[in-house]
Structure 1
Amino acid sequence: MQDATKKLDTIAIENFRKYLRIPSVHPNVNYDDCVSFLRDYSKDLEISFNVYECQVKKPMVVLSWLGKEPNLPSVMLNSHMDVVPVIESNWVHKPFDADIDENGNVYARGAQDVKSLGIQYLEAIRRLKAEYYQPRRTVHVTFAPDEEVGGVLGMKLFVKSEHFRDLDVGFALDEGIPGETEYWVYNAEKTTKRVVVHCEGQGGHGSLLIDDTAGEKVSRFLTKFYAFRKDEKAKGDDAISVNLTIMQGGVQNNVIPSEFVLTFDTRLPPTADAKAFKEKINQWCDESGDGVWIEDFGDLALAPITNLDNNLFWLAFKKTVEEMKIPLKVLVLNASSDAVHLRGAGVSTLGFCPHLNTPNRAHRDNEYLNIDVLIHGIEAFCKIIPAISNV
């Protein structure tokens, strides 16, 4: 039995590293090698394989494990194939070599975000099938394109398609953020909104102390902005996160520009008053002086929430984790994921990665995942998948 488990672990680690070596990196991702890899995977596991393109060159890959009662709404296990860019010179190990160090850490872009999750789903299915287990509901393991750029040409289109309707998804798991000594599960996420503020003023020669300059208005606006940020920071998970990310303006050192443009990344939790937030920004503009104005960013429709009250899938998930004696915490995801599109389509969705004791290095240099953490997640899904698919 121990030898059989060790063999399964070896297969999982090899497949994980093989997947990580596919440079499905932005910009201009070519997904062909991912599709070929997953097609071979489906043959190995003896589960069905389909590819749907709602947009050319943006494949949605679906591996399906038939349930004993296929007429019941299915379960979807989602992850994404694409990864964010790298600055290779900042990495100790090459970002697409999937090197393993002496501590068992596998270094590669996508090790945490989120190729590990797709491998954990599939390797859990391998182990369950080896025990001749068959789920009650059909389980679809999906691999989405372009999640790292908002899923606009990926999951957002797919959930509107006939292909998605044919899957009849009743519940989904998607990615989350690793916890330290507890599992973090996400039933909602913050709504991301780009805010662009123009500060117009008097231009002139750089030697003059003229009034009403664009820079003075930038200073007044940022003072209000960062005071708000400080207050929000104290709220914890319910905070509206606001960060200045781009500053534009100026042509030459001795010329006072007539305009600066500020771009902010803002993220609102589902509990936020979106209308009040927009009115507050307009008020800051008015108080910062004439010629300070915000580009129209439309209505702020907050992301939907997965209701956990009397949710049988959640109760099955929760009961299973409690039996594993791992603490569980429900949070709102600060970042964005494909879960927002699934929830928007009416699918009850939780974000979750079973990566304990893992410092979050998603989108950072030297991203890695330990092989013991990879295997732990596979073993966790060997319990979680039967629980949610048998609801």
Structure 2
Amino acid sequence: MGKPFNFNHQFLLLLPLLLFPVLINSTTDEQPEIISRFQEYLRINTAQPSPDYEKSTQFLLTQADSLSLESQVVEFVKGKPLVILKWPASDPSLPSILLNSHTDVVPSEISKWAYPPLGAHIDEHGNIFARGSQDMKCVGMQYLEAIRKLKSSGFQPKRSLYLSFVPDEEIGGHDGVEKFSHSDVFKSMNVDIVLDEGLASPNENYRLFYAERTPWWLVIKSTGAPGHGAKLYDNSAMENLFKSIEIIRRFRASQFDLIKAGLKSEGDVISVNMASLKAGTPSPTGFVMNLQPSEAEAGFDIRVPPTANVESLEKRLAEEWAPAS
């Protein structure tokens, strides 16, 4: 994005605080306030499919005011605000740094949680239980707390530092960062490097990834003649679908084996996970069990690394994975 970034001394000073938990560099007196702000953010219900973006936006603007950061709210799609904060540079001519995070989170199966997913409960070990505590409200708050710490030390960045809090990442980001990255707003920021989310770390060691896998969301739909549940016949919708699922399962296993053998890291393989399965004829008590359905479908979350042979994968999809029906 733009010209190659030069990791100068100013950025190297900034990097540790942006990447490592701020609690490590905070006094005991500061920690309750940091945790309290984090909990407040976690308790805002931004779960898909109905995230409360209005409330999260107000929270972020309040944080910006407390840090004397410039703020801007942009809506490329009505009701889906994108919050941009700015810490101006001492040398505005230099390309800027963008720290990105998303405000939305995935839904929760509340019955499977030990504590309410929006409660931000802290147990006796200091663990915080909340949807978004890792993906990725923690990172957004680490950015803000790092800036708070740097500002209190008198640090002044040579490059302008932007923070973007984007909507809809968990459903593809088409109305958020996708429109943002093609906008005049983004072009005017003169961004040279972007830091985004990665893997959560249980210790003080963080890994940096310089490339992101591309999501391919695939739905395979098979058809077949409906029939009585007791009848055996070839090429039912369910049978046809499971032929595809088994082929994909074997491919997934081959990729996973590379990780297990230490030959590749997780970011270097094509990951495939079945995320949905839909079939059957509904009835008032569940599904009609003695009727084989005429249609069945499965959804897959596929992540493709930049080093993968895309043409080969597309050919595999068309010739191997797609059901013959």
Partner of 2:54: 32
Q: Measure the CA separation in 2 of the matches of 1:119 and 1:72.
A: 26
Alpha carbons 1:27, 1:85 under 8 Å: kept: yes
Q: Deviation string for 1:73-115 (max 9, x for gaps)?
A: 1111111222222233333322223222221222222111211
Inter-CA distance 267–71: structure 2 relative to 1 (3 Å threshold): same
Match of 1:299 in 2: none
- The amino acid of 1:54's aligned partner reads F
* 1:88 paired residue number: 110
Q: Residue 263 of structure 1 aligns with which residue?
A: 299
* CA 1:195–1:134: 2 relative to 1, 3 Å: same
Do the aligned partners of residues 228 and 170 (structure 1) sit closer, same or farther apart at CA in structure 2, a change above 3 Å counting? same
- Distance in 1, matches of 2:307 and 2:39, equals 40
Equivalent position of 1:223 in the other structure: 246
Quick one: distance in 2 between partners of 1:264 and 1:219? 13
TM (normalized to structure 2)? 0.79
Match of 1:196 among 212, 219, 244: 219
- Give SS of 1:64's match: strand
- Secondary structure at 2:104 match in 1: coil
Paired with 2:80 and 2:242, the residues of 1 have a C-alpha distance of 43
Q: 1:275 to 1:71 in 2, by over 3 A?
A: same
Contact kept, 8 Å, 1:232 with 1:240, in 2: the verdict is yes
2:132 counterpart residue number: 110
- The answer as to 2:261 corresponding to 1:235 is no
Aligned pair in 2 of structure 1 residues 279, 177: CA closer, same or farther (>3 Å)? Answer: same
Deviation, 1:176, is 0.9
1:78, 1:231 → 2: CA distance? 33
Q: Percent identity among equivalent residues?
A: 37
Q: CA deviation at 1:153?
A: 0.9
What is the aligned-residue RMSD (CA, Å)? 2.3
Partner deviation per Cα, 1:20-72 (whole Å, 9 max, x = no partner): 22222222222222222222222221221211111112111122111110121
Alpha-carbon spacing, 1:198–1:70, altered in 2? closer, same or farther (3 Å): same
CA spacing shift, 1:247–1:121, aligned 2, 3 Å: closer
Counterpart in the other structure of 1:68: 90
Tell me the alpha carbon deviations over residues 215-270 of structure 1, each in whole angstroms, 9 at most, x when there is no partner: 44334333333222222222223322223333333434333444433333222222
> Does structure 1 retain, via aligned residues, the 8 Å contact 2:102–2:168?
yes
Tell me the residue number matched to 1:277.
Answer: 313
Compare 113-122 and 83-92 and name the one that shifted more. 83-92
The answer to whether the Cα contact below 8 Å between 1:30 and 1:57 also exists between their aligned partners in 2 is no
Letter of the aligned partner of 2:317 in structure 1? I
The aligned counterpart of 1:5 is 27
> How far apart, in 1, do the equivalents of 2:88 and 2:167 lie?
24
Higher RCO by CA contacts (8 Å cutoff, separation 6 or greater)? 1
Structure 2 distance, partners of 1:212, 1:130, is 69
Contact kept in structure 1, 2:248 and 2:321, CA below 8 Å: no
Provide the residue aligned with 1:21 in structure 2. 43
Shift of 1:127: 1.6
* Structure 1 residues 228 and 95: alpha-carbon distance in aligned structure 2, compared to 1, 3 A threshold: closer
* Structure 1 letter corresponding to 2:110: E
**Matching of residue 58 in structure 1 with residue 77 in structure 2:** no
Whether contact under 8 Å (1:52, 1:59) holds in the other structure is: yes
Could you say if the C-alpha distance between residues 262 and 63 of structure 1 is closer, same or farther in structure 2, counting changes exceeding 3 Å? Answer: closer
Distance 1:216 1:22, change over 3 A: closer
| Aligned partners of 2:83 and 2:164 also within 8 Å | yes
- Aligned partners of 1:146 and 1:154 also within 8 Å: yes
Structure 2, unmatched stretches of 5+, are 1-25, 260-265, 282-287
Q: Secondary structure at the match of 1:197?
A: strand
Deviates more, 1:30-39 or 1:276-285: 276-285
**TM-score, L = length of structure 1:** 0.67
- C-alpha distance in 2, partners of 1:144/1:166? 17
Q: How far, CA to CA, are the matches of 2:63 and 2:151 in structure 1?
A: 14
| Residue in structure 2 matched with residue 249 of structure 1 by the alignment | 279
SS of aligned partner of 1:125: helix
SS at match of 1:128: helix
Distance in 2 of aligned mates of 1:203 and 1:232: 35
Match of 2:199 among 161, 166, 177: 177
- Report what 2:13 is aligned to: none
Q: CA deviation at 1:212?
A: 4.0
Cα–Cα, structure 1 residues 226 and 91, in superposed 2: closer, same or farther, change >3 Å? closer
What is the deviation of 1:180? 4.2
Tell me, which stretches of 5 or more residues in structure 1 are unaligned? 293-391
